[in-house]
């Protein structure tokens, strides 16, 4: 997922049932990335169409050796989740030229705590060279219910901030500053309604999630 050749970082928020996952799926499917990896924390049935699922992290990483892939890692809750996430992010960095979607981001990052490999992906991954000098990039989508529980550097680096209704007033006040809107609007959005601000926009845009032929398509994006 890129705009005018630029890899995007997209932050997606919203309370349960507001449509954030459905919106994200639409963006990914419209982009049709040739190389996609998904961090599926809760083994969400709604994400099954995003690629082959793996319960084994080593097998998942080995599958990334292919020229093209769409893969979903089903997190093992019986093991250290943070260690798994670190390896997931390292693998993304090594592979490069990848769209990575991290669902339930607050489960692996906190407001003032970003795992090292994730921080590198977010801060440097837009355009970098690997150890052999090859030029690479990472497009990143991170989603969560509460922005206050997510890595602040991720939000600050986002090219797109997209949200449905927020249930917490403190979250709404904080995110409203980034969006340039009244926090009370974020608290009152009906289901499937959204507010979004892209880098360079003076005012946020607003819309309603639709399905089928009328579904909103991402603007000026090329497949990864």
- Residue in 117, 137, 116, 134 with CA at minimum distance from that of residue 125: 137
Q: Which pLDDT score is estimated for 165?
A: 97
What is the enclosing helix (H) or strand (E) of 157? Answer: helix 152-157
Mean pLDDT by 10 residues, the chain (224 residues): 70 95 95 96 94 97 97 97 97 97 95 91 93 93 93 92 96 94 97 95 94 55 37
Q: Which pLDDT score is estimated for 1?
A: 55
Q: Which pLDDT score is estimated for 213?
A: 63
């Amino acid at each position: 997922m890129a705009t005018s050749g630029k890899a995007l970082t997209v932050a997606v928020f919203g309370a349960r049932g507001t449509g954030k996952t459905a919106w994200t799926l639409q963006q990914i499917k419209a982009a049709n990335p040739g190389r996609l990896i998904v961090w599926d924390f809760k083994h969400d049935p709604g994400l099954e169409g995003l690629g082959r699922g793996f319960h084994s992290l080593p097998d998942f990483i080995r599958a990334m050796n292919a020229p093209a892939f769409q893969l979903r890692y089903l997190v093992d809750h019986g093991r250290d989740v943070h260690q798994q996430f670190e390896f997931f992010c390292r693998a993304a960095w090594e592979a490069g030229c990848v769209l990575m979607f991290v669902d339930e981001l607050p489960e692996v990052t906190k407001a003032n705590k970003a795992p090292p490999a994730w921080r590198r992906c977010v801060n440097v991954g837009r355009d970098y060279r690997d150890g052999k000098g090859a030029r690479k990039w990472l497009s990143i989508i991170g989603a969560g219910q509460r922005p206050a529980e997510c890595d602040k550097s991720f939000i600050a680096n986002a090219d797109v901030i997209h949200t449905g209704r927020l249930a917490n007033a403190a979250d709404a006040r904080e995110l409203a500053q980034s969006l340039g809107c009244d926090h009370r609007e974020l608290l009152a959005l009906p289901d499937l309604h959204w507010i979004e601000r892209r880098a360079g926009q003076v005012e946020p845009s607003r819309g309603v999630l639709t399905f089928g032929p009328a579904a909103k398509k991402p603007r000026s994006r090329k497949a990864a």
